[in-house]
Amino acid sequence: MEKQKKKQNKKQQKKHLKVYKAKVNAKKELGIKKKKEKKYTIPIFIPHRGCNNNCVFCNQRRISGETKNVSIEDVKKKIDEYLSYYDLGAKPLVEVAFFGGSFTGLDIKEQQAYLEVVKPYIINKVISHIRISTRPDYIDDEILKLLKIYNVKVIELGVQSMDNTVLERSKRGHTKEDVVNSSILIKKHSFKLGHQIMVGLPGSSIETERESIRESIFLKPDYMRIYPVYVLKNSELWSMHEKGEYKELSLDEAVIRTKRIYQECIKNKVEVIRVGLQTTEEISENNKEIKGPVSDNYKERVLSSIMLDNIIKKLSKKKNIEKFNQIQILVPKQQMNYAVGNNRENINKLKEKYKEKISIKVIP
């Protein structure tokens, strides 16, 4: 009898359940692209090499997870090691990327030595090209001519901000004019251009960051990296924080500010190739010697926030939505995580919005 009553109750509940089904596909807003040919990157970290500047936020060895200088032999070993992992196929698209330092700030002979290691792999068509990162004030015609000889195809600039006051307070050692001049020169020599932008720098605000991304995009970068500022121990910013001269962003603030930059990039068809610093043993939520918006899944939080905006926008178009008992949000399978949010954050925010009167379900 009890079982029959339960079945009847369930049937009655279903009968009176008014369900609104909302289809949400934020593929465009999230910047999700169709699967392309597989690309491989062999990262060579040369922490702080070639850079004669000390930015207030910098502790490059901790950011990259590298603690020693990289020899020419190290580069060759690293390339061979990574190539052994890859299923290269007939037409491999493999790049060697020199990250961490300012490559073009190295002595010319040292630049050539690193590039010479990669050269035989390019000649043998095992590696397609080289990517480097550097400072905006370390670019000129002669350097670009040298890089062109060695099949460097992508040059990323540590722009960080397009506001001279922010750059000065961060002790970047360059101006936005340097960014403009070097970006124009890089494009003129037919390289792919990358920009790196930071949120939460000393003296920065939502307004300065919005203006920075607009000015950056005007220079037509092909790629963008967006990083929040972390306060690392043994950096000048750590001392500033201890003295009360700098206040770090909360995780929510950083996500919102990063989201605005990300959306501007997607709108202008600039490919965002990284959001947030790569999680390492040092750069993680578990390390209490780092302050700021540290998150091991920073990018997912940013994309989840964009997804939530799209869901709310969709639901706001439905009149008398409060008359429904349940909202079913139908999303493509690959967008499920973003729709639900970190620790069901989006679901909880939607429940809060509708005062928990309506049950929320996300369905693939």
Residues of the chain where predicted confidence (pLDDT) is lower than 50: 61-62, 64-66
pLDDT of residue 65: 47
120's tokens: 């035989």
95's tokens: 């790049």
Domains along the chain with CATH numbers: 2-28+306-363 (no CATH), 31-292 (3.20.20.70)
- This prediction has a pTM of 0.89
DSSP letter string, 117-152? HHHHHHHTTS--EEEEEE-TTS--HHHHHHHHHTTE
127's tokens: 């590696």
pLDDT of residue 101: 82
- What average pLDDT is seen over the chain? 90
Q: What gap in Å lies between CA 54 and CA 44, rounded to an integer?
A: 21
Q: Which residues contact 32 (CB under 8 A, 6 or more apart)?
A: 334, 335
Contact 338, 300 (CB under 8 A): yes
Instruction: Kindly report, residue by residue over 100-110, the tens digit of the pLDDT.
Output: 889 999 999 99
pLDDT of residue 100: 82
pLDDT of residue 2: 59
pLDDT of residue 53: 73
pLDDT of residue 68: 62
**In 3D, which of 105, 163, 166, 103 has the Cα closest to residue 131?**
103
pLDDT of residue 103: 95
Q: What gap in Å lies between CA 131 and CA 238, rounded to an integer?
A: 31
pLDDT of residue 3: 56
- Location of structure tokens 């679901």: 347
Cα 189 to chain centroid, rounded = 26
